[in-house]
């Protein structure tokens, strides 16, 4: 799988991924002589960054952290590359000073610790050679302020027994919006759906597969649903109630991508 991002620091590097779900502070957070993460609040405390592709959302802390990154490079214990969701000045400066390839605008949830990763800081791209990409469309149907969720059958090929929105795989030659419209008819038999919003892709990691989910919001004229064989139950819920259900991963994030805050 290839992830397209933005080049921040040039060069190429690769190795096993070390992924933190939290922003990282380098000053006091990483030992510049050994590359060991010392930050007690870090979810990768005790790990060594040397020779690994370090993946985290963004940097934080003192600007002196730039010189810690530079120090890691001087001591030969720097990460092989860094991947961020949003790079700020501290990490960017440190990587440029230390010659560490850096790419940002990458969703870190697509990468797991231990993945083989190749970072191209010149092209602004990240390669995951052992990970398969599958595209999917997810359609949220709204009627009088409530959202339709469907319970996947126990024999569903992925995420059996979990709640989801209307969804389906998108073939390479298909457009996600067209697939979303087709799935609405197939899974609910509701007609007259009106597109309200579309969101940017949401990445869902499942074993060695990354589902690239394209979310859409439709207003529909009825709550009458005729289920197909893929789903076993349907409920119309308020958006705030969604966390009460055992849903497929990142369903709330996909809904947030298309539903205005507070709606």
Catalytic residue (one of 58, 62, 169, 252): 62
**254 to each of 139, 173, 178, 202, 217, how far by Cα in Å?**
10, 23, 18, 6, 10
Q: 62 catalytic, yes or no? A: yes
How many other C-beta atoms are found inside a 10 Å radius of the C-beta of residue 232? 15
Instruction: Tell me how far apart the terminal alpha carbons of the chain are, to the nearest angstrom.
Output: 35
In angstroms, the CA 254 to CA 24 distance is 26
Instruction: Annotate the chain with DSSP letters as a single string.
Output: -EEE-EEEE-SEEEEEEEE-SS-EE-TTTB-TTT-BB--TT-TTTT-B-TTSEEEES-EES-TTHHHHHHHHHHTT---SEEEESS--HHHHHHHHHHT--EEES--GGG--TT-EEEEETTTTEEE-TT-EEEEEEEEEEEETTEEEEEEEPTT-SSSTT-EE-EEEEE-TTS-HHHHHHHHHHHHH-----EEEEE---EEEEETTEEEEEEEEEEE-S-------TTEEEEEEE-GGGGGGS-BSTTHHHHHHTTS-TT-
Q: Which residues are catalytic?
A: 62
């Amino acid at each position: 799988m290839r992830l397209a991002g933005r080049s921040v620091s040039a060069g190429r590097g690769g190795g096993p991924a070390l992924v933190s779900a939290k922003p990282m502070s380098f000053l006091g957070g990483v030992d510049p002589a050994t590359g060991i993460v010392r930050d007690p609040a870090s979810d990768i405390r005790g790990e060594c960054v040397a020779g690994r592709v370090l993946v985290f959302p963004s940097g934080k802390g003192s600007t002196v952290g730039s010189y810690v990154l530079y120090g890691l490079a001087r001591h030969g214990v720097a990460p092989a590359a860094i991947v961020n969701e949003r790079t700020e000045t501290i990490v960017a400066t440190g990587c440029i000073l230390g010659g560490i390839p850096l790419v940002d605008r990458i969703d870190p949830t697509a990468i797991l610790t231990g993945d083989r990763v190749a970072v191209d800081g010149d092209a602004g791209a990240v390669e995951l050679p052992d990970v398969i990409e599958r595209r999917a469309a997810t359609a949220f149907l709204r009627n009088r302020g409530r959202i339709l969720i469907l319970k996947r059958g126990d024999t569903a090929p992925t995420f059996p027994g979990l709640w989801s929105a209307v969804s389906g795989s998108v073939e390479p030659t298909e457009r996600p919006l067209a697939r979303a419209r087709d799935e609405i008819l197939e899974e609910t038999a509701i007609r007259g759906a009106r597109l309200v919003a579309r969101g940017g892709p949401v990445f869902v990691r499942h074993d060695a597969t990354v589902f690239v989910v394209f979310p859409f919001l439709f207003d529909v004229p009825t709550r009458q649903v005729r289920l197909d064989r893929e789903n076993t139950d349907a409920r119309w819920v308020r958006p705030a109630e969604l966390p009460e259900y055992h849903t497929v991963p990142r369903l709330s994030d996909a809904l947030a991508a298309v539903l205005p805050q507070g709606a």
